[in-house]
Structure 1
C-alpha cells in the first residue's frame, strides 16, 4: 500500500468531501428522510458513480479497471482522493459509491462502525502477504527464527518504512517477540528499497519489511520469511460499496458482486504505472486481455 501521485482527473479533496458529507446530512434532516417520496427518489437509477481512492499504489489498478468498465456502461465516473477513514465516512453518507482497496482485517474497525450503510461486496484477492523479506540467494534463511544468532551478518539492522506507520510498532514488537538483536531502521519506502538493492548488488545479507501487492516482488529476487509465531495476519483485499447502488446502479452492482483480480496482475500493473504508463491505458489493456473474464463479471 504505497503512495502514488495522481494526474489531474477531477479528483475531489478531502475537505470538499467532508463538506459534502456534512451538507448531505443537514439536507437530509431539513428535507425529512421519512418522507416516502424522498425515499423513492433516493432509489432512482443514476448515471454518475464516485470511487474513493486512497493514495496507495495497490489502489490504482483495480480503481481504473472499475472506472473504465463503469464508463463503458455509460456512467460518468468521479474519483475522490482521501484517506481511508474519510472514504468509509463517504460510503456511509452516500457521497462515495465504491472503494476498491479495503484491506482486512486492517480496516475491520471502519467496516464494523459503518456496516449498516455499506456492504463488503467482493474479495479482490484473498492473500495479500506481508512480513520480513530477504534475498532469494540466502538459502539458509527461510523463517524469522533463522535470523536468531546471525544478526551481525545483517549489521544488526532491520529496515522499515517511515516512522508513524502502524507497521513500525508491529516490527518493534516482532523484534522483541523473536528476541532478535536487531535495530529497526526507519526510512521512506523508497529509501528502504534502495538499501535492499545496494546490499543485493553485492549479494550481502539484508532483511526488510515487504508486502504484496508491490513492485518489489517484480523487480527484486526476494522471498518472505515464514512466520512461525504468526505475527503477521494474512490480509485480504475487498470492495466496499454504498448500499444504495444495488438500486441506483444495478449493472455496476452486478459487476462488483462478481469482481476479482489476480494479485500478480495487480503487481504487473503497478510496475507499468510506476514506469510512467497511463493508468487508464494500463487498465484498458488488462480489460482487453481478460475480456471473457470481464464479460462473465458483467453477466454478459
Structure 2
C-alpha cells in the first residue's frame, strides 16, 4: 500500500513539474513574441490636419501590440527623419506639394496609401473683400495689405509655392511666415477691423468653420487640389509587416477629419478621446483597414 501511495505521489510530482515547465516555456515564448514587436515612431507636423489620423493610427497600432511614439517636427524635418529611419510613418503627406520630398528621398521612403483626396488649398481672403475673387484681383491693392501675405512655417514646402505665386502673378508682396496658429491669429486681427488681408488656407481645417472666408481662384494653377497620403520608411514593411499592411489599407474621409479637428479645437475634447470615438463609430472601416 505504501508503495502504491508513493508511486502516486511521485507521478503527481512529475506531472506538476512538467506542467510548470510547460507554463514557463509558454510564458517565455509569449514574452519573446512581445519583445519582437518594435517601436513605431509617428511623425507629427504642427498642422491640425495631422492630429486626428495620427491619434487613430496610434491607438490601432498599440492594439496590435506595438509601442508607438510621436515625434514633433516641421514637414522638412519629418521627411528627413523618415529618410533616416528615425521616423517610421507620417500620416499627413500632401501631394503634389510634397513631391519634392519623395523625389529627394525616393531610395528610403514611399507613398504607402491614400488617406483622402480633393483637399483644396490656396490663398484665402475674408468674404467682405467682395471684389477679390481671384489671385489676379490682388494686383494693385498690395499696399492696402501692407504688402504682406501670411503663410505657415518656413520649413513647409508650400512656402516655396507661395513665393513662386507672388513672382508669377507679379504681386508686390512679401510672404510673412509663422506657425499655423500664428498665421491665423495675424489674419484674425486684421479681420476684426475688416482690413484687407490675404493668407494661406487649406482643407481640412476649422478656419472654414470659424471664419467667414473664401478661397481665391488660381488661374495659373499653382495650387492644385491635394491628395493626402500615408508616407513610410521603406524598412517598415520588413520591420513590422502587419503594421505596414494595416497602413497600406488606410483611408479616412476628409469630412471626418475636419469634424474631428472641430471637436478637438472648438469643443476642447482630448484628441485621443476623439480618435477613439471615431474608431468606435466606424468599426466597418477599421476592420477593412485591418484586413478583418
Q: TM-score, normalised by structure 2?
A: 0.72
Does residue 125 (structure 1) correspond to residue 116 (structure 2)? The answer is yes
Judged with a 3 Å threshold, the aligned counterparts in structure 2 of structure 1 residues 121 and 206 are, in CA distance, closer, same or farther, namely: same
Q: Which of 262, 269, 292 pairs up with 2:284?
A: 292
Give CA deviations for 1:205-239 in whole Å, capped at 9, x if unaligned: 43222223332122112121110011224432211
Contact 2:43 2:87 in 1 (8 A): no
Residue matched to 1:232: 223
Give CA deviations for 1:125-157 in whole Å, capped at 9, x if unaligned: 2233322102234443321123335556x4454
Does residue 277 (structure 1) correspond to residue 277 (structure 2)? The answer is no
Judged with a 3 Å threshold, the aligned counterparts in structure 2 of structure 1 residues 204 and 84 are, in CA distance, closer, same or farther, namely: closer
Q: Which of 9, 27, 50 pairs up with 2:40?
A: 50
Contact 1:118 1:241 in 2 (8 A): yes
* Whole-angstrom CA distance in 1 between matches of 2:282 and 2:108: 32
| SS of equivalent to 2:151 | coil
* Whole-angstrom CA distance in 2 between matches of 1:124 and 1:225: 25
- 1:99, CA displacement in angstroms? 2.0
* Whole-angstrom CA distance in 1 between matches of 2:75 and 2:178: 23
- 1:78, CA displacement in angstroms? 2.3
Judged with a 3 Å threshold, the aligned counterparts in structure 2 of structure 1 residues 292 and 132 are, in CA distance, closer, same or farther, namely: same
5 Å-filtered alignment, 1:79-228, equals 79-149=70-140, 154-155=144-145, 157-161=147-151, 164=154, 167-168=158-159, 170-180=161-171, 182=173, 184=175, 189-228=180-219
| SS of equivalent to 1:160 | strand
* Whole-angstrom CA distance in 1 between matches of 2:277 and 2:142: 45
- 1:64, CA displacement in angstroms? 0.9
Unaligned runs of 5+ in 1: 1-44
- Structure with the higher fraction of residues in helix conformation: 2
- 1:122, CA displacement in angstroms? 0.3
* Whole-angstrom CA distance in 2 between matches of 1:85 and 1:148: 31
Unaligned runs of 5+ in 2: 1-34
Q: TM-score, normalised by structure 1?
A: 0.70
Judged with a 3 Å threshold, the aligned counterparts in structure 2 of structure 1 residues 65 and 94 are, in CA distance, closer, same or farther, namely: same
How many residue pairs match? The answer is 256
Contact 1:218 1:268 in 2 (8 A): no
* Whole-angstrom CA distance in 1 between matches of 2:83 and 2:145: 48
* Whole-angstrom CA distance in 2 between matches of 1:252 and 1:258: 10
5 Å-filtered alignment, 1:54-73, equals 54-57=44-47, 58-73=49-64
Who wins on radius of gyration, i.e. which is larger? 2
Contact 1:98 1:242 in 2 (8 A): yes
Judged with a 3 Å threshold, the aligned counterparts in structure 2 of structure 1 residues 254 and 220 are, in CA distance, closer, same or farther, namely: same
* Whole-angstrom CA distance in 1 between matches of 2:78 and 2:239: 19
